[in-house]
Structure 1
Amino acid sequence: MYGNGDDETPAWEKPSRFAHVLADAAAPKERGREGIAPPGWPRGVQPPGLPGWEDTAVAWLFDLCPSGYRGHEVLRKHPLILARMARQHVSAALAAARHGYGTARTELGDTVPAAVLDAVLRMYEYEGSRAAATERAVRLVEEALGGDRWEPRL
Structure 2
Amino acid sequence: MASLVSPPGWPAQVRPPDAPDWERSAADWLLDITPPEYRSYPTLRRHVVVLARFAVLHVEAAQLACRRGLSEARAELREVAEPDVVEVAVQTWHQESARLLAQRRAVGLVEEALRGRRFVARL
Bin for the TM-score computed over the shorter chain = over 0.9
Partners of 1:81 and 1:134 in 2: how far apart?
17
> Which runs of 5 or more residues in structure 2 are unaligned?
none
Partners of 2:17 and 2:61 in 1: how far apart?
26
Report the Cα offset of residue 37 of structure 1.
0.3
CA contact (8 A) 1:65 1:89 kept: yes
What do the CA deviations read for 1:32-83 (whole angstroms, capped 9, x no partner)? x552100000011000011100000000000011111111111122111100
CA contact (8 A) 1:97 1:124 kept: yes
Report the Cα offset of residue 97 of structure 1.
0.9
Match of 1:112 among 81, 84, 90: 81
Match of 1:76 among 18, 32, 45: 45
TM-score by length of 1: 0.76
In structure 1, what is the equivalent of residue 29 of structure 2? Answer: 60
In structure 2, what is the equivalent of residue 43 of structure 1? Answer: 12
In structure 2, what is the equivalent of residue 28 of structure 1? Answer: none
In structure 2, what is the equivalent of residue 90 of structure 1? Answer: 59
Report the Cα offset of residue 109 of structure 1.
2.1
In structure 2, what is the equivalent of residue 125 of structure 1? Answer: 94
> Which runs of 5 or more residues in structure 1 are unaligned?
1-32
TM-score by length of 2: 0.95
Partners of 2:35 and 2:119 in 1: how far apart?
30
| Structure 1 residues 135 and 74: CA distance shift in structure 2, 3 A | same
Q: Would you identify which runs of 4 or more consecutive aligned residues in structure 1 move more than 4 Å?
A: none
In structure 2, what is the equivalent of residue 137 of structure 1? Answer: 106
Report the Cα offset of residue 147 of structure 1.
0.3
Question: How many pairs are equivalent?
Answer: 122
CA contact (8 A) 1:34 1:49 kept: no
Structure whose residues are more often helix by fraction: 2
The code of the aligned residue for 2:36 comes to: S
In structure 1, what is the equivalent of residue 116 of structure 2? Answer: 147
